[in-house]
């Protein structure tokens, strides 16, 4: 029997190998939204191994990579009658990419301007017929998240994204989900923390229930009995035994929603439970063992609260077995197609026709900053779907919701020059500490890797200089 040689320094699992590799900044082309057919979701294509992209009409969305006479080409077909058979090209040009219209019937638009030929910049939106695409110049991606991905299947769940750095973070969370490690979900309001907590529970393989506790709603006087239950007759009104949240989650997952709002006495009580894995119900005499997996979520700055003494450091440490930062919707606009498809499906009235968008409405969706995130998108679409009187949602239907008015007040202002300087200093110090590992910096700062990369770019920090010193 002959044995295959095993090369030193590699594992035999290519998927594992792909995950281990340091993320690289790579260029991508995304299909963000088929305005009139949102059921088609979206797709991403990595541009690093190709020289030219040909885009034209086809019976369905397909992409193929072709090598011809030394040139590497991506052929992208899009099912849209408003797109010409040979509509446009993306051509590698130096370190970047240029867009060219290929003599199409309906023309091509980049950021709303009709163009024949233009150098693309990071974040540019390309509009061809009813399809909105987006060019990203350099998104951090592992080999796994750099692979082409077409999310045409409607069975895409909450753990799906087209955005490579977010896909890498979700891949880590998916693997953590299977172990009994506590998970802390951080992110702005409406980014989907509760949805993700349910996803973690579903992946955990734990057979008990997912029990959600709204920490802000725990009342000081009833705290112990709400969390740990009580025995019949423990106090006036205790007419029967009650298990409480913690015991109800036995064998399953305890989801501590808005954990930043947990009152101090509840923090102490909960810490005890997590340390000893047992509870004594109010009026009871002996402790009862519990088998818990805890997932906590907050939109509050838990680290800062712990420094200010508003949140127990020991509890914060217990909850942060693994921290996962959810990106705000404005940082994952490339996912608009898959999110819109899911949200329209949910708000669909039985028997009503499938809804789509006019191109103007589609553009409005991808250009908004969505400060209230997916929740705001969901509510906006719910209202628009009810207002639409044909198969297409128009811009006016989207603008009519009151949520748009909230925007201007709630968008966080950019940091001042002094704050920017401090932030830069902190990032540099952490890059030094973690020898250029963006994941390490992200972990320490409680931010997503995509955010760290954005800061690194904004402050012109050369990460390689810190990697070189290790
Ligand atoms: N991936 C997703 N796909 C579709 N809908 C989503 C997704 N993520 C979140 N939503 C929807 O967005 C809304 C807000 O989600 P969720 O309540 O999970 O956010 P949250 O971060 O927990 O908000 P808060 O911090 O305000 O509690 C919900 O209606 C949810 O169904």
Q: Residue 162: inside a domain, yes or no?
A: no
Ligand 1 atom 24 nearest Cα:
189
In this prediction, residue 450 carries a pLDDT of 63
Q: 3-class DSSP state for residue 461?
A: coil
User: Tell me, what CATH number does 314's domain have?
Assistant: 3.40.50.300
Q: Residue 361: inside a domain, yes or no?
A: no
Say how many Å lie between the CA of residue 341 and the centre of ligand 1.
Answer: 15
189 lines ligand 1 (CB under 6 A): yes
Say how many Å lie between the CA of residue 326 and the centre of ligand 1.
Answer: 11
Ligand 1 atom 7 nearest Cα:
192
- Both 215 and 134 in one domain: the answer is no
CA dist., res. 120 & res. 160, Å (int): 27
In this prediction, residue 440 carries a pLDDT of 81
- Both 55 and 94 in one domain: the answer is yes
User: Tell me, what CATH number does 140's domain have?
Assistant: 2.60.200.20
Exposed e or buried b per residue across 80-89, where buried means at least 16 C-beta atoms within 10 angstroms of its C-beta: bebbbeebbb
Say how many Å lie between the CA of residue 184 and the centre of ligand 1.
Answer: 16
- Both 173 and 202 in one domain: the answer is yes
- Both 194 and 120 in one domain: the answer is no
Test site for ligand 1: of 159, 190, 339, most ligand atoms within 8 A of the Cβ: 190
Say how many Å lie between the CA of residue 3 and the centre of ligand 1.
Answer: 51
Are the C-beta atoms of residues 27 and 46 closer than 8 Å to each other?
yes
339 lines ligand 1 (CB under 6 A): yes
332 lines ligand 1 (CB under 6 A): no
159 lines ligand 1 (CB under 6 A): no
Q: Residue 398: inside a domain, yes or no?
A: no
342 lines ligand 1 (CB under 6 A): yes
Q: What is the pTM of this model?
A: 0.80
Q: Residue 283: inside a domain, yes or no?
A: yes
Structural domain boundaries enclosing 92: 23-151
In this prediction, residue 174 carries a pLDDT of 94
Say how many Å lie between the CA of residue 188 and the centre of ligand 1.
Answer: 10
Q: Mean pLDDT in each 10-residue stretch from start to end of the chain (470 residues)?
A: 35 56 89 97 96 97 93 96 98 95 97 96 97 97 95 77 96 94 95 95 96 87 86 84 93 95 88 91 90 95 92 95 96 96 87 90 94 94 90 87 41 59 88 83 74 78 71
- Both 207 and 270 in one domain: the answer is yes
In this prediction, residue 410 carries a pLDDT of 36
Tokens of 280: 């004594």
161 lines ligand 1 (CB under 6 A): no
Say how many Å lie between the CA of residue 378 and the centre of ligand 1.
Answer: 9
Ligand 1 atom nearest to CA at 377: 12
Which of 325, 354, 382 is at the close of a domain? 325
Number of H helices, E strands in the chain: 17, 22
Say how many Å lie between the CA of residue 314 and the centre of ligand 1.
Answer: 28
Are the C-beta atoms of residues 62 and 82 closer than 8 Å to each other?
no
Say how many Å lie between the CA of residue 67 and the centre of ligand 1.
Answer: 43
Please list, in sequence order, all residues whose beta carbon lies within 8 angstroms of the beta carbon of residue 209, skipping any fewer than 6 positions away: 248, 249, 252, 253
- Both 248 and 318 in one domain: the answer is yes
Q: Is the ipTM of this complex over 0.95?
A: yes
173 lines ligand 1 (CB under 6 A): no
Say how many Å lie between the CA of residue 182 and the centre of ligand 1.
Answer: 20
Ligand 1 atom nearest to CA at 191: 21
Which of 293, 325, 357 is at the close of a domain? 325
Number of domains in the chain: 3
191 lines ligand 1 (CB under 6 A): yes
Ligand 1 atom nearest to CA at 326: 21
Q: Residue 366: inside a domain, yes or no?
A: no
Q: Residue 397: inside a domain, yes or no?
A: no
- Both 62 and 105 in one domain: the answer is yes
- Both 102 and 238 in one domain: the answer is no
CA dist., res. 467 & res. 449, Å (int): 16
Test site for ligand 1: of 195, 343, 406, most ligand atoms within 8 A of the Cβ: 195
Say how many Å lie between the CA of residue 194 and the centre of ligand 1.
Answer: 6
347 lines ligand 1 (CB under 6 A): no
Q: Residue 349: inside a domain, yes or no?
A: no
Say how many Å lie between the CA of residue 178 and the centre of ligand 1.
Answer: 22
Taken in order 159, 164, 166, 167, the sign of the CA dihedral is: positive
194 lines ligand 1 (CB under 6 A): yes
- Both 174 and 306 in one domain: the answer is yes
Ligand 1 atom nearest to CA at 187: 21
Q: What does the DSSP assignment read for 42-100? A: EEEEE-TT-SEEEEEE-SS-EEEEEEETTEEEEEEEE--TTS-TT-EEEEEETTEEEEE
In this prediction, residue 13 carries a pLDDT of 60
Test site for ligand 1: of 374, 378, 382, 448, most ligand atoms within 8 A of the Cβ: 374
Q: Residue 363: inside a domain, yes or no?
A: no
Radius of gyration of the chain (CA): 25
- Both 126 and 233 in one domain: the answer is no
Which of 290, 325, 360 is at the close of a domain? 325
In this prediction, residue 219 carries a pLDDT of 79
Cα separations in angstroms, 171 against 168, 437, 448: 5, 18, 14
Ligand 1 atom 16 nearest Cα:
192
- Both 187 and 147 in one domain: the answer is no
């Amino acid at each position: 029997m002959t044995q295959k040689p095993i090369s030193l320094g590699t594992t035999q699992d290519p998927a594992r190998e792909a995950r281990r590799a340091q993320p690289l900044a790579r260029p991508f082309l995304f299909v963000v939204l088929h305005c009139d057919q949102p059921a088609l979701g979206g797709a991403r294509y990595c541009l690093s191994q190709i020289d030219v992209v040909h885009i034209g009409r086809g019976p369905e969305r397909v992409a193929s990579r072709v090598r011809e006479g030394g040139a590497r080409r991506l052929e992208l077909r899009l099912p849209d009658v408003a797109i010409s058979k040979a509509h446009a090209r993306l051509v590698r040009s130096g370190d970047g990419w240029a867009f060219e219209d290929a003599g199409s019937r309906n023309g091509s638009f980049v950021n709303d301007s009709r163009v024949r030929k233009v150098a693309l910049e990071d974040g540019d939106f390309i509009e061809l017929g009813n399809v909105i695409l987006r060019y990203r110049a350099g998104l951090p991606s592992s080999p796994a998240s750099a692979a082409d991905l077409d999310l045409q299947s409607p069975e895409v769940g909450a753990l799906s994204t087209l955005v490579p750095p977010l896909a890498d973070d979700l891949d880590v969370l998916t693997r953590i989900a299977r172990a009994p490690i506590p998970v802390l979900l951080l992110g702005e309001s409406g980014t989907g923390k509760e949805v993700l907590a349910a996803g973690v529970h579903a992946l955990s393989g734990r057979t008990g229930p997912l029990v959600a506790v709204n920490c802000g709603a725990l009342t000081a006087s009833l705290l112990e009995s709400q969390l740990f239950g009580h025995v019949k007759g423990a106090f006036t009104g205790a007419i029967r035994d009650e298990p409480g949240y913690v015991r109800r989650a036995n064998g399953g997952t305890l989801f501590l929603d808005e954990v930043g709002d947990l009152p101090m006495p509840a923090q102490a009580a909960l810490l005890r439970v997590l340390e000893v894995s047992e509870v004594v119900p109010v009026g009871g005499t002996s402790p009862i063992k519990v088998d818990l997996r805890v997932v906590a979520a907050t939109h509050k700055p838990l680290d800062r609260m712990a420094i200010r003494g508003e949140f127990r450091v020991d509890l914060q440490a217990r909850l942060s077995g693994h921290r996962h930062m959810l990106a705000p919707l404005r940082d994952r606009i490339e996912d608009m197609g898959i999110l819109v498809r899911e949200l329209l499906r949910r708000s669909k009235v039985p028997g009503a026709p499938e809804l789509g968008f006019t191109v103007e409405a589609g553009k409005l969706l991808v250009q908004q900053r969505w400060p209230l995130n997916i929740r705001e998108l969901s509510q906006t679409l719910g209202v628009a779907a009810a207002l639409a009187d044909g198969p297409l949602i128009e811009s006016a239907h989207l603008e009519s919701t009151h949520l748009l008015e909230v925007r201007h007040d709630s968008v966080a202002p950019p940091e001042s020059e002094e704050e920017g300087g401090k932030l830069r200093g902190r990032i540099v110090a952490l890059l030094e500490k973690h020898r250029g590992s963006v994941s390490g910096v992200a972990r320490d700062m409680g931010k997503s890797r995509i955010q760290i990369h954005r800061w690194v770019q904004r402050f012109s920090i050369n990460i390689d200089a810190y990697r070189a010193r290790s």
